[in-house]
Every structure is written in structure tokens, then in C-alpha cells.
Homo-oligomer: A and B are copies of this chain.
Amino acid sequence: MDQVELFKALANKTRLQILTWLKSPEEHFPDYEPACGSTDVGVCVGYIQKKSGLTQSTISEYLSTLHRVGLVSATRVGQWTYYKRNEETIATLGNLIDTL
């Protein structure tokens, strides 16, 4: 786990927001439901994109960034990709801070 890359991924307002949104999807995504909202695999790109106000390509890239450093997991189901927080990495990040 590259510390610098991890911090870079977190050094962006929108990416940070996505991470907090994913903490309680029911709260942050109005029409979150088991269709594109699914049960527990996460939230699909479109929902996140709409909420962010940025373009589809930008959000897709941001999610890919978060995924690359392991902050979220990605699950493809049909035409949707569900993104979900990876609590394990986030916890590890906490420890990392301590070793800072």
C-alpha cells in the first residue's frame, strides 16, 4: 500500500465526499434501492455521478482511483458497477497515520 498514492487519492474534495456518501448510502442516495442500489454490494456509478454534479467520465475515473488504492471495492453486476467502501483499507489507513 503506497502511502503517497493513498493520500493523493484522498486529496480531493469530491473523492472524499464519495467516501463519506458510501458510508451510509440509504441516507445520501434518495432512490437507493435494490435495483441499482442493491443490497450490500454498494452503489452504482450513476447515483454517485448525479449526486456529485460532475460528469460521468470524471466520476468513473475518480471511482477507479479510489479502487486502485483499495479504498473501495468494485462489483460488476450486469451493466452496473457497484462501489462500496473497503473498511479494511480505511482501518489500515488509521494505523498508518499512527506510524506517521
Contact = CB atoms under 8 A, between A and B. Distances in A.
Copies of the chain in the assembly:
2
A35 to B, nearest CB: 28
A6 B92 CA distance: 18
A20 interface: yes
Interface in A33-84: none
Given A11-B4, A11-B7, A94 B90 contact: no
Given A93-B97, A94-B94, A4 B13 contact: yes
A13 B98 CA distance: 17
A12 interface: yes
Interface in A5-24: 7-8, 10-13, 16, 19-20
